[in-house]
Copies of this chain bind each other. A is one copy, B any other.
Amino acid sequence: MPTRAPGDGKPTIGTVAAEAGVSRATVSRAFSQPHRLKAETVERVLAVAQRLGYSMNPMAKALSTGRSGNLALVVPDIANPFFPPMIRAIEQRADQAGYAVFLANTNEDPAREDLLLTRLAMQVDGFVIASSRMTENAIKAHAERHPVVLVNREVADIARVLIDTTAGVTQAVEHLAGLGHREIAYLGGPHRSWSNSQRKRTVKRVGERAGLTVTMLPGRLSSYELGRHAVADLLATSATAVIAFDDLLAHGILTGLTERGLVVPRDFSVIGCDDVLAAQTYPPLTTVSSRSAEAGAAAIDLLAGRLGNDGTSSNDRLLLDTSLVVRATTGPAPRKRR
């Protein structure tokens, strides 16, 4: 006698077969390929199954077919408000497509990300990796062995959906230039973040093109407190406006500025990114729109599509556009700061 948990009275495919007077294969087919059976048979089997309260064991099916019907979603920090809307969209879309989703939070740690990926690999049909912090090689290694769709990470030959903030950030810089600011700063986000590189690059390029002096302030992560403390460095420059990697940092900057008696936007202009705080800051934050929920849904569509086509390695690349949302934290450059 092998295994089996104690007190396990769940009906199996065999129970249904016996009760319906057919073979187990027929029961199986009644569910997976009803068109290959006499309509009457399907009906009878389904009725019996229903009556017995039968439901299929996904693990047995997975073992047999090699497909689990599960996906894994990997994010660096679920507590960052950028991710929850994306996670919700992903979970919902996956659910519609018949997949259940494992959630893996890496705490911004590439090693942990790698570990979780390999640990989940055998249990899922594919991965959505959002804002991966791993090296390109590590990502490639995984993508070779399993279907992967990246979000906000650019790696050649791997399917990805990218929230392209180039347009939004360009507008942000030009908005500032238009307001008369001559020197601006960019407060960076997570080091390994593709989004951060893109934004940084754009600020620099567009800023210089507009004849602005632009200072790059390094930032290791995204957090309110980090933004608040970065104000010291910020005021050490002679910038009169700042663009932050994201809204969390921008929000912190707002607070830090206020704490030092500066009034936004009279004395200083601030722009965020991702629009996750809506108008919930004070004053309401000027920011670059994001489309994280859409990005999540799109990622699932890509992944599900690939899994449907039997995993033929696709090189899909989907760009989601952004734009500047002007609220109340940007204004004309002050004559003289402070």
* Chain A residues proximal to chain B, CB less than 8 Å: 2-6, 8, 55-60, 62-68, 70, 73, 77-79, 81, 83-85, 87-88, 91-92, 95, 100-105, 107, 116, 118-120, 122-123, 224, 251, 255, 258, 278-282, 310
Contacts and interface: CB of A to CB of B under 8 A. Distances in A.
A120 B4 CA distance: 19
Given A3-B66, A59-B62, A81-B81, 12 more contacts: A5-B67, A6-B310, A57-B122, A59-B123, A73-B103, A84-B84, A95-B116, A100-B119, A102-B102, A224-B280, A258-B282, A281-B282
A4 B66 contact: yes
A120 B100 contact: yes
Contacts of A258: 282
Contact of A91 (B6, B88, B105): B105
Contacts of A103: 73, 87, 91, 101-103
21 contacts: A3-B65, A5-B66, A57-B122, A59-B122, A60-B63, A70-B123, A78-B84, A78-B88, A79-B88, A81-B81, A87-B103, A91-B105, A92-B105, A92-B107, A100-B102, A100-B104, A100-B120, A101-B102, A101-B103, A103-B103, A251-B280
B59 A68 contact: yes
Contacts of A57: 63, 122
A123 B88 contact: no
Contacts of A102: 70, 100-103
Contacts of A279: 255
